[in-house]
A and B are shown apart, each in its own frame.
Chain A
């Protein structure tokens, strides 16, 4: 039977198991929207901005573990998705972005609403296609899903010219994909895995450093087995949160710039670092030359370009994290006999870690006068029983969520790790709520980040999504303010947000319930009320405007050189002293 390109697109999406598409219509995609008009098995969710659509599809993918899909028009619609695409690219999230394009004969003519989106997104997609004939459309979609969700996942863009959506051809959806040039390595080298097992058993001070790859390859069970079997402490990256239970006795907390003291010191003193699905991001390593200076490295990753990118690796294993861990655990079990003794030999290591944990736990100065942001997060954790998806934005609040919300399950922490995109949280929460309709979903936002995609309140309201929005309202672009306070002589240039809207009224304008807390005594009450409310709720927490995220590794420093609330004062004094000195030599 002959079908139009638009019909082929929708049928193909359904064949891929897609149930929800986020986006916005426009001139060149009208044929597609016309097909959607009568479509019952595919929900189209109208966002209020294409960036929102891309982030929502991203949030959907993170929560569900399946590619998210966005559909937008050409030109401005397409360019509006770029931040969302780059965000997914950095975090290896499978995403299919379908952009309309002007008719093929118009391409390159600076036609109305034309943009070379294939050119624009080449560096921030895993792959992208310009469909040049309706006959290749079905195959292209099949390949796009295959590329997006296999190997190291990532966003794939399909640029679909208007005349192709209109052209007709026989529809046959390919069963299989074969691409001679794309063959990810799924299974680790056996010999290297044996080497790794030996190294693990020999290690006196081992530590596992795991990242988002664990979640992407659904390997948290295997990771837990590896850690428990050999009693190895685990630290996670921001992207890895939930990949290992946050309440597990072997969990050290997050590492890196705002990681725990115990995590950073463990890595610093380790004799073996087992890096799993993590890429040695500079926010994690601090000064690279002093990252785990005494350790041998095992690195397991599906992407060979991640290996030896900036750290020398002794035992590289390229493969799907889950497959490799299955093999590694098998191998370790065959070496059963002397394991218990070897683990006993690590007793000094465990007690050292306990000391670090006791000496510098995550903490903050409690107050009953002003709301501390950390307290809000603690309460959300407590009152939700930890059983929630939390989509955070970017800034101080993001770090407090990472520190004080203990994720026990994968796919519950949704945050922009690699690109650090303000405005990600709200639309990502929308995607997550569509992926998991029965789950309690929070969006924890900064007052700055929240305003970047605030228009998506409409999407939440119209779809009656019961998302609980938490604004950590500190009246500033807090993370920027923190850096200026510590390293730029308290020059608060461009970081104080004046004349803020009344967020409660703003919520009400969208018919969303708005609640506010200005005193610590009100915090519990409004969180409870929000959780017990059926629909969406926005909570505006007016928090201590001067609160900072600690501990902190100053940029360029080694992870062992963390500063805490107290020592931060001396950093401040030092920069202030420098400033004074500079002033004093100035002529009067």
Chain B
């Protein structure tokens, strides 16, 4: 099963390669990995998408927790979460009818054209995997020159019950 694992790490050089090396060294699979700093610039958040049965995921999480620079590991798949990825898609649009078709599709998906030349449009899109797959499929007949995708980033949803309780408390106070 696919799991999205969110890893909070010390923001030091070499940490990403420690995390990636853990996966490669133990034969665990990485489907995508993305990283960026958090609100606190001394930490980074790594999002790894991986596959495995329960036993493998348990091992992955234990091993991640064991890395000296890892502060916190969360298997988002056990929670309610929001996942997004971004893609830049460069399409052939030499013919006017292709340009209008491209614009139409971009509109439907709430994507944006971020660059244009006489023969190409470059479209920016964010969304879940399905949405990105869908727009790629629709644009494909026009002729896609290049695609760059970020891999997934994910964040846990706020626990509704808990926030509701907090609000309630505030109101009562």
Q: Which residues of A contact B (CB under 8 A)?
A: 118-119, 122-123, 126-127, 130, 147, 179-182, 303-305, 307-309
- How far does the Cβ of A116 sit from chain B's closest Cβ, in whole Å? 11
B interface residues with partner A (beta carbon < 8 Å): 9-10, 13-14, 17-18, 21, 25, 55, 58-59, 62-63, 65-66, 68-71
B55 and A308 contacting across the interface, CB-CB below 8 Å: yes
A75 to B151, CA, bound (A): 37
Add 19 more A-B contacts to A130-B13, A181-B10, A305-B66 (CB < 8 A): A118-B14, A119-B17, A122-B14, A122-B21, A123-B25, A126-B68, A130-B14, A179-B68, A180-B71, A181-B9, A181-B68, A181-B69, A181-B71, A182-B68, A303-B66, A304-B65, A305-B62, A308-B55, A308-B58
Some 5 contacts from A to B, beta carbons below 8 A apart, are: A122-B14, A122-B21, A181-B10, A308-B55, A308-B59
A123 to B17, CA, bound (A): 10
Q: Would you call A181 and B21 a contact (CB within 8 A)?
A: no
> How many Å lie between the Cα of A118 and that of B70 in the bound state?
18
- CA–CA, A123 to B69, complex, Å? 14
Q: A305-B62, A305-B63, A308-B58 are in contact. Are A181 and B18 (CB under 8 A)?
A: no
Could you tell me if A123 and B70 are in contact, using CB atoms closer than 8 angstroms? no
Residue with the greatest number of chain B CB neighbours at <10 A, chosen from A147, A181, A303:
A181
B9 CB contacts on chain A under 8 angstroms? 181
Contact residues in B for A182 (Cβ distance below 8 Å) = 68
Question: From A179, which residue of chain B is reached at the shortest CB distance?
Answer: B68
Report the minimum CB–CB distance from B53 to chain A (whole Å): 12
CA distance A147 to B59 in the complex (A): 21
Interface centre among A123, A180, A305 (most CB of B within 10 A): A305
Residues of the B chain whose Cβ atoms lie less than 8 Å from the Cβ of A303: 66
A180 contact set on B, CB distance < 8 A: 71
Q: Is the CB of B68 within 8 A of A127?
A: yes
In the complex formed, the residue of B with least CB distance to A306 is B62
Contacts of B71 in A (CB 8 A): 180-181
A residues in contact with B55, CB < 8 Å: 308
What's the nearest-Cβ distance from chain A to residue B9, in Å? 7
Q: Which 3 pairs from chain A and chain B are nearest by CB?
A: A305-B62, A181-B71, A127-B68
Interface pair B14/A309, CB less than 8 Å apart? no
Q: Tell whether, in the assembled complex, residue B62 and residue A123 are in contact, meaning their CB atoms are under 8 Å apart.
A: no
Q: Is the CB of B70 within 8 A of A304?
A: no
Distance A132 CA – B68 CA, assembled complex (angstroms): 19
Residues in B neighbouring A308, C-beta threshold 8 A: 55, 58-59
